[in-house]
Amino acid sequence: MRKIKLEPYSIYSEKIPKSFDGCKIAFLTDLHNNLYGEKNQYLIEKINSMNPDYIMITGDMIVGSKDCDTKVAMELLERLAKEWKVFYSLGNHEQKIQQYPETRDTVYHSYFAHLKELGIIVLDNQTFELKRGNESIFITGLTIDFFYYGKIWKRLHMNQAYLEKQIGKKKKDKYQILLAHNPAYFDCYADWGADLTLSGHVHGGIMILPKLGGVIAPSYQLFPTYDFGLFEKGEHKMVLSRGLGTHTIHLRIHNRPELSCITLKTK
């Protein structure tokens, strides 16, 4: 069993309300049905050690296949939902089981129906206003069309009109968190107005080389600009997690699985 690395991020902004100052978010992504101890007990213990206020997930908790099994992800999510408010946006693997006729009307619908029964806030191109007292921030989950996950030689450019079509315009004067599985479009997310974007998908570039970073993205881009860590565009920030799991090719070199601990700080 590989050891999970707890990665701390402190995010400062004048727009973060005082009631959210010090708020801790446990950020999970790309579990892909991997197990850390029985029923992911080790992962649960790592989350508990953070003492988070909220859990945020940017998808790919499962492996999107025609014989998709959601048991591992569901057992973890059931435990998380008992203790915390959980926000969940879709990754490309959740979208895969929505597209396959073999899983669309069975696995996909039953999986997300159960998540909602658990009280998990599923954000499929939707926005949630998270309140503390008289103050609030907004959390939006972005689902993009599948062709935006294409290989580097045929991937499309994303523009503001497309983002606004998917999730509407950003709420003015409110701190905005965007759960967006694919980090490749961070510039577009920032231009839309996301103050903090949480992303995954890249798995840290599979192999991490000193000074060079992650080696390859799922799009087959070598040494991708966005591999892992904290990225900034002006006042806009993105936390890109290395993720928790692998699929198909079970390989991570110099690339420990990540659980992100994000602390919001008022400037």
CA distance 110 to 51: 30
Q: What is the token pair recorded at 70?
A: 């959601």
Task: Give me the domain span that covers residue 176.
Answer: 5-266
What percentage of the chain carries pLDDT values higher than 90? 82
CA distance 201 to 60: 8
State the CATH number of the domain containing residue 214: 3.60.21.10
Report pLDDT digits (tens) over 60-113.
Answer: 999 998 888 999 999 999 999 999 999 999 999 999 998 888 888 889 999 999
pTM: 0.96
Handedness of CA 153, 157, 163, 164 (dihedral sign): negative
Q: What is the separation of C-alpha 240 from the centre of its chain, rounded to a whole number of angstroms?
A: 8
- pLDDT higher than threshold 60 for residue 154: yes
Q: Which of 54, 3, 5 is nearest to 25 (CA)?
A: 54
Cβ–Cβ < 8 Å for 241, 260: yes
Number of structural domains (the chain) is: 1
- pLDDT higher than threshold 90 for residue 48: yes
CA distance 60 to 158: 21
Phi, psi of 186 (to 5 degrees): -55, -40
Report pLDDT digits (tens) over 162-207.
Answer: 999 999 999 888 999 999 999 999 999 999 999 999 999 999 999 9
Check residue 203 and give its pLDDT: 95
What is the pLDDT averaged over residues 105-124? 94
What percentage of the chain carries pLDDT values higher than 70? 99
| More confident position, 65 or 236 | 236
Rounded (10°) angle between helices 41-50 and 71-83: 30
Q: Which of 77, 94, 90 is nearest to 141 (CA)?
A: 90
Q: What is the token pair recorded at 14?
A: 């004048």
